[in-house]
Structure 1
């Protein structure tokens, strides 16, 4: 792995140790973040990851801030399912589908949409929930 890969890994580890505990508490309290419960593809352990999701018909839109190689996303794809907790309500996710950037951005409110556009975010996924 090249220098960029090591730098990215270090950044993700730093964020995981500093920012994630705070966002995880906020997600568990039902404030500002959703919680994604997923099973590790190698460990079999259950993990909880805080995310900002936008509700849409049929599920929730997730913006992959750190790309599709993050563990939570890879675990969900490998399992084909997870549970999303939004404001204390659990939703069973039964599939993940890629979304075009404009469709993904459109799911978010005006302020978030502007920020996503300015940051040139292009990786969006639909977390499809069970009917």
Structure 2
């Protein structure tokens, strides 16, 4: 039994290590699979409560660049003095970020309130590190989170 536990823990450690390395290197295969898992499995679970008071996550409401369709995407906005920072673990090439950049704004639901936001800009980790809580800085370093979307509240 002890040997089985050791094998299971070893497999988990290797999988976690591979995950961290894949995220740090921005592996297209890993990121595409993770995005699909998030879209199909996590979004339906998280979206109903995202943005509510006391929740750590929020929702960004945006319009498709070509379809014109309205979308709601769960995100983890970090309040800053004049708006929000949103980490971009899959880079700024994700559709929701491209939609916000193209439109010049969106609506962010966070902590029970709705915020119209404008002036989206992609910033590097170095540009925002001083605004981030220590735990986010640590996670950003581990996973090589190098891009953040900054939006200003109207």
Q: Same fold (TM over 0.5)?
A: yes
* Aligned pair partner of 1:38 in 39, 43, 62: 62
* Aligned pair partner of 2:73 in 49, 55, 59: 49
Gaps of 5+ in 2: 1-26
Going by fraction, where is helix more abundant, 1 or 2? 2
Tell me the C-alpha RMSD between the 2 structures: 1.8
Which deviates the most, 96-105 or 51-60? 96-105
Tell me the number of residue pairs that the alignment of Structure 1 and Structure 2 aligns. Answer: 127
Q: Is 1:12–2:13 an aligned residue pair? A: no
Name the larger-Rg structure.
2
Contact 2:52 2:58 in 1 (8 A): no
Once residues 6 and 17 of structure 1 are traced to their aligned partners in structure 2, the CA distance between those partners, rounded to angstroms, is 17
Gaps of 5+ in 1: none
Q: Report the TM-score when normalising by structure 2.
A: 0.73
Deviation at 1:100, TM superposition (A): 3.0
